[in-house]
Chains A and B, each alone.
Chain A
């Protein structure tokens, strides 16, 4: 007996829909085994991790707050990956966006009217976009692999932030903690009463806008074509280089916006750690959402659950919150493997015995 992957003559629409759910199921099964090995009742472990956070208003609000940056970044990355442009450095673009967006409140702490918020958001977006442009230009000018350059620039951005908050931007009244002074009033995003802030609106708007772009416009068509058949894209008159730059500007800008939104809400100031790896988790969001802007919205909520579940597991079950990273990694692994079933089917082929009928 031999397992054979056989190419389908057409994409399987069934598996295109089912694959993310299948991946989720496999991840949960894997989680049960992992909990059992840690000596925790698997059912209780899974309940604490995946269900309990959805039973309280407070934690549902947290879910949306955490999903906000994931969706903002993930939807930009989805467009990138659709175009076969591999921006892995959203975490760095988020960091730079947080820094450039914070220039105004750090330099002018007394500036207190709605205009500063707009300046912060715009500068954060521009900062992220320009930082994203670096790997884009390295790709188009020197053909440097954007996977490596964008990833390595993450560490540059994070160390730059570290230096800023320990050095020139440190709050003089902050008891020597490596933080800027806290943002106040119009330097913070308005909320809807609880902890959910305006960033959630931006995320939903970004999803709607990019869904329109991909579905209805020539630009969206260009993105799909250059991504799946670059030679055909050139034949259509689309420039691959311009597409690379467009994708990095777009995804970098959205990551930068996510960065400043985090700083101007949840964090409230600049500090060495401003994100628990949203920029990397958003890669999973993009794939789990089938690189579809609407799918990203749901995938973002699911990944947010993995963060909150991780915190809950730490508190209730007394295990490391690194478990969230394990779940995220395993989920990505299963999505990518399940996606194989969209284009291939698995058949068993016997070594010697002839098959009688057609395999179908």
Chain B
């Protein structure tokens, strides 16, 4: 940067000329030096200020390049991991290969012709495959277990005691492939091999109640309250209002405090946190709560009330529906506690009351203050059940403070309530509770309100069966959700218990492959209340027996011939034929079908002038046909099956056989339901009840069907301990028998009678079935263990089922492999793009700060010439003097 000062117009003193020439010479030297440095370093600028815009751009390019270099490293490392995962999954020795081999080898031994040796060979092969698959699943690369999700140093699968348990999680390890773009460099074992069972999703909304500590972010089902909100609170009687800034609030308690601290000028505002929301009260005023500007806070808090006219001292907010967290107290679930605010005139004397338990039973309790005599600074409390009032006795000379009353209430363990001081009523923290509550106060008739729901039965606990072992849990010492979850997770039961995504229920899953998983009760209702019972009234029957369902008798499926189905002869010898082919039995229930058949018989009887009357007789939850003969003739009422028709046999009117005839011994013949019912229950007193569960969809339907059939003699219910359907004989303790009807496997598949049995008898008056609705783990290991066990037992249906599941497993592995391959390709594409980008950035960076050598060298030459000229001129000018000429 050479500067050019102007040449003076008048005289040039010698010293000035010399200085100027020196300056010029130096400027030339400086430029030459600069150019020389540019050429030798290759950089056009050394300090940013030499070309600020270019330098700043260059700096940002340099940083971008630093970032891109790391992104390139990330991609390279991701490609290595995905490549290694792909290699583990694919190929003959990979997961897919091992599974295909097993499938091919076991298909050969499915069927009755396979010998025991062949099966044993297949079993041995499966055992080998199990070992090798566990080894593959536990493969490590670059210090990371490939299949343990985000738990890169946790061995994902542990094979012991005949079961395989998954120790990893379902997450993936992610990293950035570009700024703001994430990719996953791992796939969880769950996605490849499986390992965590389907969730036992809590079907119950545990509906946690709101407290002062409830986080705003958990409200409204987890949508929370928009941050930095504010609301306007006004009193329309004074026309005053104030804006409450809620931006610092994180809990409902904060909101309450901020509103109470910022009332409309001249008014007092009380805020109570009820079990499900906020209640705002303005004593003697008329409350208005509005949004500020276009805010949404008041609406989100359920308090918006901008158009209600009239006298409104209290606004009760809507249900804020909080999610629960690990730290949520268990006693805050499933219901709300009744609360009351005991407001007295003056400061520092308001008391907050809360019931100890949830429920409506604690609502409506009143409070009144009485003279307790000279008792000093103490108080006595007595609950008067007759008036449903808590009587508070205080000192006759006003020595009792609100804090004394609170202490007295809290000290009385028999009371259903606890009390606390309302700190918002005090002008300073030290004054809270120091105020007096005058004798005779009834707190304007305040009563407890807001209690509802039920209390969680923690004492009973749950029974978990997993991997063939039974574990009993009870939670009476647990106070938070986390305690409960930890109790399950820390046990040996192989469980993964967590809060569900919606934050309103629990999810319990099994990590064990190769065993059944059931959650049942332990004498109480804990599992049901938590919604985690694997077998409850809502359980679908089609999910029973690993999805096989519950095969019942086919409902009412009467085989009707085209012609005469049966003939009836009355006691007077009048015979008539009954032809049922005119009835459309499609979609008819047994009862409706029987009604139609009865009508058909009666029509035929009337037409033939016979004295036979048919009626539908109910025996429990099914009906049968009953014929009665009123003719009074000498012959016996007789029914003869028609040629080629089995209708009469089906209805139980004639015995089985080729030419069946039924001759009555009295005047009636009653049909039987054995063809269209599923099982019978015989109670201690000998009554037998036939039960048809063909229409049942759920366990509840089955229980209802049994209860309808037995009419109270035998009660059906879910087992009080564990799972299963339980029958209780109300006719006395003796033999309670359930017998499957031929052709129906319902009793067995419902777990009422044992496997491959047709009857079961209990002598204790209670018959408890087994749980056939187990959850199992959809994993490669589970399939192989099941297949091995089925082969060992030569259980054909189980072998077929396991073989079918093997297909699912292969499909899952293939899918995972495709997923990994796809990611690999995408990542390679990202790498390619990144490399392109890096080249572009480098070229842009070079444009900004690299020297243009051609230009620099030509500049150097030009400058050299200039310097030479300058030197020559200097010499000439300095030599020239008048003195030379005198």
A and B: bona fide binding partners: no
Residues of A with Cβ closer than 8 Å to B? Answer: none
